[in-house]
A = this chain, B = another copy of it.
């Protein structure tokens, strides 16, 4: 596992200095195995007994995003949605619209951004992909008419 961070004394999470707030924020981000908004994080750290101001959370998230620990994966009701990136390799996210859980998945685009005849000369250098749907549990519940 490339990401045992979180308990190390310093420079973890991509921060230069680790304050209690940032530790709580990072832990919340790593803990919430789904996608989260800045608001979720703010609420979470408050519940964890280490409240942090909105600006602080935004700044911490920006730092983690810059460091590659989290990634913006879309939005939910006007709020930016982030997700914790399990490791450095290129991947995308499966966002369950039932329970909000987010799972990583291999990049489905790489396979076709190289040779697609439709691209017709267009050189793809970057892409954004987010898949929404239902995780197995939610899919079953829905099928059951829950």
Chain B nearest CB: distance from A141 CB in Å?
12
Scan A60-88; emit 1 where CB is below 8 A from any B CB, else 0: 00000000000000100000000000000
Query: Does A127 contact B124, Cβ atoms closer than 8 Å?
Result: no
A31 within 8 A of B: no
Partner of A124, one of B94, B120, B123, B124: B94
A interface SS class: strand
**Chain B proximity mask over A97-126: 1 for CB below 8 Å, otherwise 0:** 100000101101101110010111111111
Q: Which residue of B lies closest to A104 (CB)?
A: B118
Residue of B103, B105, B122 near A135 (CB, 8 A) is B122
Given contacts A127-B129, A128-B74, A128-B128, contact A120 B108 (CB under 8 A): no
Show the binding face of A for B, using Cβ within 8 Å. 74, 94, 96-97, 103, 105-106, 108-109, 111-113, 116, 118-136, 139
